[in-house]
Amino acid sequence: MSTTITIRIDPKTKERLEKLAQATDRSMSYFVSHALEQVIEQEEWQIGEIKRRVELADKPGATFIPHEDIEAWLKSWGTKKERKPPKCV
């Protein structure tokens, strides 16, 4: 069973959506619901991963790599003095 919602989109997006629907012989609703489903799935995954990682970080004995070490390592990429990946402390 489906339900109806109303969304606001700019005219250019609506025009593109209409063209896509016509070109594929699908409804605009199909593309909107499909896109929304993908966004929801991605966001749910991301929130779950963040929660999982926070739980791991809060456990006794958790190790971390200092931000400064990561930043220095990344800045060294593509240079003659590229650093090795930093270690957890």
pLDDT digits 0-9 by tens, 41-74: 999 999 999 999 999 999 999 999 999 999 999 9
Give the tokens for residue 65: 């790599």
Q: Domain check: are 49 and 68 in the same one?
A: no
Single pTM value for the model: 0.69
**Structural domain span for residue 48:** 1-58
Q: Domain check: are 49 and 66 in the same one?
A: no
Q: Domain check: are 42 and 76 in the same one?
A: no
Please give the Cα distance from 44 to 63 (Å, whole number): 26
Q: Domain check: are 35 and 68 in the same one?
A: no
DSSP assignment letter at 85? P
**Alpha helix locations (H) across 25-59?**
28-58
Q: What per-residue string of b and e applies to 47-67 under the rule 16 or more CB within 10 Å gives b?
A: eeeeeeeeeeeeeeeeeeeee
Q: Domain check: are 18 and 6 in the same one?
A: yes
In the chain, the number of structural domains is 2
Q: Domain check: are 45 and 74 in the same one?
A: no
